[in-house]
Chains A and B, each alone.
Chain A
Amino acid sequence: EDQVTQSPEALRLQEGESSSLNCSYTVSGLRGLFWYRQDPGKGPEFLFTLYSAGEEKEKERLKATLTKKESFLHITAPKPEDSATYLCAVQVFTGGSYIPTFGRGTSLIVHP
């Protein structure tokens, strides 16, 4: 059975304290790994798509990397406004469709 596991479940950082979030997956036929940010009471906001091992993407203080088994979301010098839940999703092609599976997310709190 395909699985997506995110760790840690929750993370508290001081402003400026860099860290990484992990998304490990066991799927057959990966067709993309996605990172989203979700604020309380809102829908997920798209951040990155990664498709092949070794690929990296950056956006402001965020950098996403991908290996054959996991992805990391690195947060450099975070600010309080980076506080949110970060969701990882893997996509496989099955039954003629691209089907996504989401992890449970990492809740990040950045203290000023």
Chain B
Amino acid sequence: GAVVSQHPSWVICKSGTSVKIECRSLDFQATTMFWYRQFPKQSLMLMATSNEGSKATYEQGVEKDKFLINHASLTLSTLTVTSAHPEDSSFYICSARDLTVHRGENIQYFGAGTRLSVL
């Protein structure tokens, strides 16, 4: 299957600093990438949909100024958590959609996730 690389896997930062998370599709091109947040024992909460070359679409309740998304190429999207606070501590996961079209398949492949801890 397709591989999505997410980096870093774990980051600890001080309150007020910004953290950048990278998501790369390694062996396929992805015009669309998704960013999720997952709380312990909860499902994935979609934060935003990132489209290459255009502005991201944020879900209701997600602050676009706090969670900056850039999708500069067909293989890279970044999520920057600006001025992070302890309540932003969470598990962030990205996914990339393979452009392969077979019977309309649009399979999302996920990165390994980033554990963010804000002190």
Contact = CB atoms under 8 A, between A and B. Distances in A.
B83 interface: no
Contacts of B105: 32, 49, 51
Contacts of A107: 41
Nearest to A103: B43
Contacts of A97: 32, 49, 57
Contact of A41 (B4, B42, B111, B113): B113
A87 interface: yes
Instruction: Please classify the interface of chain A as helix (H, G, I), strand (E, B), loop, or mixed, using the class held by over half of its residues.
Output: strand
Contacts of B110: 36, 43-46
Q: Interface size for chain A: under 10, 10 to 19, 20 to 34, or 35 or more residues?
A: 20 to 34
A46 B34 contact: no
A43 B6 contact: yes
Contacts of A51: 103-105
Interface in B31-81: 32, 34, 41-44, 46, 49, 57
Given A43-B93, A46-B108, A51-B105, 5 more contacts: A43-B111, A46-B109, A89-B108, A97-B57, A100-B34
